[in-house]
């Protein structure tokens, strides 16, 4: 099976802009989670989607949002970008009957 | 809520020597425990997990970990490391078996293998 794919891999944006990141889970996986990784804060949970519904959300401002489509693909959006949003954004998919989250390679976002 | 403390930010070890990466957690409920590895410019890969049962868990690449409930620890060990083990290692906990409520990660331990 193909692994979790994330596009784009690298992105450079300017403060105030918005950005959309995409994640395609492993075929058959219906749960998708998003994490932000920064040198200062480490890995932090953003939100989790299952069957197009957000089930859980981490402690992030409303500028961070996401959605999931009927084919389980997920997008996350960050509006009004700030310098502190520069990070590696990781997506993970999981089969609901399983225990392991499979991570994608991430999207490296740089905000200038 | 849960929290994870990885006691060492960096661990230098000579090749073929044993290594232990320490992890302590805090939680008011029962948790499930995980160790992940991250190689440069890559995502996270699961090394091993503790869900229930035997407290000694064996994972991939020769790693193992022991769950100690009384000490709230889940230390990762390998009897003999290789240059290819150089990476960042993350301990994580979840109150949900699959982490649907989100994994809570430690800050990571950079394992540096010296020839």
Q: What 3-state class would DSSP assign to B28?
A: coil
Bridging pattern class, strands A42-50 and A31-38: antiparallel
| B44, B97, B105 ranked by CB distance to A42: nearest | B105
Best mutation target, B3, B43, B96, B103, to test chain A (most A CBs within 10 A): B43
State mean pLDDT over B35-53.
91
Structural tokens at position A64: 């961070």
CA angle, A89 as apex, B86 and A76 as ends, to 5°?
160
For position B97, what pLDDT does the model report? Answer: 60
CB neighbours (10 Å) of residue A5?
15
The pLDDT, as a whole number, for residue B51 is: 86
Give the mean pLDDT of A1-8. Answer: 91
For residue B7, the distance in angstroms to the closest alpha carbon of chain A comes to 14
What average pLDDT score do residues B30-37 get?
91
Interface test with B, best of A10, A101, A108 (most B CBs within 10 A): A101
Sorted by sequence, the CB contacts under 8 Å of residue B80 that are 6+ apart come out as B16, B17, B18, B62
List, in order, residues 6 or more apart from B62 with CB less than 8 Å away: B78, B79, B80
Q: Looking at chain A, which residue has its C-alpha nearest residue B88?
A: A42
Residues of B in contact with A21 (CB under 8 A): none
Residue A56 pLDDT exceeds 60 = yes
Cα dihedral A47, A53, A56, A62 sign:
positive
- H or E stretch including A78? strand A74-78
pLDDT band for B98, please (50, 70, 90 cuts). low
Rounded-to-10 torsion of CA B18, B4, A58, A93: 30
Lowest mean pLDDT among B19-23, B26-30, B111-115: B26-30
| Statement: residue A26 has pLDDT above 90 | yes
Closest to B100 (Cβ–Cβ): which among A35, A48, A105? A48
Query: How many contacts, defined by CB atoms under 8 Å, are there between A and B?
Result: 63
Instruction: Read off the pLDDT of each residue in B67-96 and give the average, rounded to a whole number.
Output: 94
Q: Do A98 and B46 touch (CB under 8 A)?
A: no
| Average pLDDT over every residue of A68-78 | 97
């Amino acid at each position: 099976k193909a692994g979790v794919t994330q596009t784009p891999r690298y992105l450079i944006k300017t403060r105030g802009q918005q950005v959309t990141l995409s994640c395609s889970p492993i075929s058959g996986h219906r749960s998708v989670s998003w994490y932000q990784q920064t040198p200062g804060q480490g890995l932090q949970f953003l939100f989790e989607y299952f069957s197009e519904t957000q089930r859980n959300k981490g402690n992030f401002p409303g500028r961070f949002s996401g959605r999931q489509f009927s084919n389980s693909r997920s997008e996350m959006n960050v509006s009004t970008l700030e310098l502190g949003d520069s990070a590696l954004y990781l997506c993970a998919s999981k089969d609901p009957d399983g225990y392991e989250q499979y991570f994608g390679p991430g999207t490296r976002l740089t905000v200038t | 809520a849960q929290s994870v403390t990885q006691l060492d930010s960096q661990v230098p070890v000579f090749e073929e020597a044993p290594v232990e990466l320490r992890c302590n957690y805090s939680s008011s409920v029962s948790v499930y425990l995980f160790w992940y590895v991250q190689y440069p410019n890559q995502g996270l890969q699961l090394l091993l997990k503790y869900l229930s049962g035997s407290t000694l868990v064996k994972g991939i690449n020769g790693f193992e970990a022991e769950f100690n409930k009384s000490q709230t620890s889940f230390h990762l060990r390998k009897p003999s490391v290789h240059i290819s083990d150089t990476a960042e290692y993350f301990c994580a906990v979840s109150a949900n078996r699959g982490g649907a409520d989100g994994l809570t990660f430690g800050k990571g331990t950079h394992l540096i293998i010296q020839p």
